[in-house]
Copies of this chain bind each other. A is one copy, B any other.
């Protein structure tokens, strides 16, 4: 095992020189500071037999920054805690490069971190952001339109394609490996959305959070399914809509807004109208109820997620 100073020196090319016990950061005057922490554990959140350490870093960072996007904020500063097994320096360096790569794309400075020995590889990422107008899960009103930034299910399909060693479904695999946090869209939406969340656990679960926090229900009249997800499901005899309903990790934004703002928002960004906020319940417009526990079934039978 390298000593801690050797590790810090090797990671210094990626992370800033840590010269103090804590790091200063800036918040723009008039903006609201927000913060989120996420952890990713080998064998639970990622499988290094399927994707590279660089990609693990990249998508862990994307998932973390997505939490800031979901509030309509801009990510400013990132702190990274790496737990590394002995002898995994090269792996850690690659993982750190992946984190850095995504962070750079969104002008998020890595301002601090901590490297510790651990028999299980893990990374905890803490992101500090700021927003002019913070959007919460709470805030959806009856009559609001329910929308999503892009078709869903691609990430789950990509993971399945990787697990099954399929050469096709490149777009879905790319969606799984290199998701993009919807920072720009979130900033636009901060002016319009009455509620917002990112699709990390799957549409049904994440929508359920919004409905519960807002004390409302929803009817879905259009379920946009990512193309590869549809094709993969059809080729295996699975139900395409389950990928979009329960797949998760697409990191698209799910949001509600007043119908009167719909046209103005369409001029500024792409999104898909999928339903409407109603008093209670969660169902399709043909009356079929959408079950929350479909998630466990889908994960268990289709993806065998950790």
Contacts and interface: CB of A to CB of B under 8 A. Distances in A.
Contact of A124 (B23, B124, B137, B197): B124
Nearest to A4: B201
B39 A33 contact: no
A132 B198 CA distance: 36
Interface string A93-136: 00000000000000000011110111110101011110000101
Contacts of A113: 37
B41 A71 contact: no
A215 to B, nearest CB: 12
A32 B120 CA distance: 36
Given A120-B119, A136-B20, A37 B67 contact: no
Contacts of A111: 35
A255 B34 CA distance: 32
Given A120-B118, A120-B120, A112 B23 contact: no
Which residue of A68, A119, A306 has the most chain B CB atoms within 10 A of its CB atom? A119
A2 interface: no
Interface string A3-31: 00000000000000001111111110000
A25 B19 contact: no
B39 A23 contact: no
Nearest to A212: B19
Which secondary structure characterizes the binding site on chain A? strand
29 contacts: A19-B136, A20-B136, A22-B36, A22-B71, A22-B127, A23-B36, A24-B33, A24-B34, A24-B134, A25-B33, A25-B34, A35-B79, A35-B112, A35-B128, A36-B112, A37-B79, A37-B80, A37-B126, A38-B114, A41-B119, A43-B119, A45-B116, A83-B120, A83-B122, A118-B122, A119-B119, A119-B120, A120-B122, A126-B126
Given A22-B34, A37-B112, 18 more contacts: A20-B70, A21-B68, A22-B68, A25-B35, A27-B33, A33-B33, A35-B126, A37-B113, A37-B126, A38-B114, A39-B81, A39-B114, A41-B83, A79-B126, A83-B122, A117-B306, A118-B122, A128-B128
Interface of A: 19-27, 32-41, 43-45, 66-68, 70-71, 73, 77, 79-81, 83, 111-114, 116-120, 122, 124, 126-129, 134, 136-138, 197-198, 213, 306
Closest 8 CB pairs of A and B: A124-B124, A22-B36, A120-B120, A21-B67, A21-B70, A126-B126, A22-B34, A37-B79
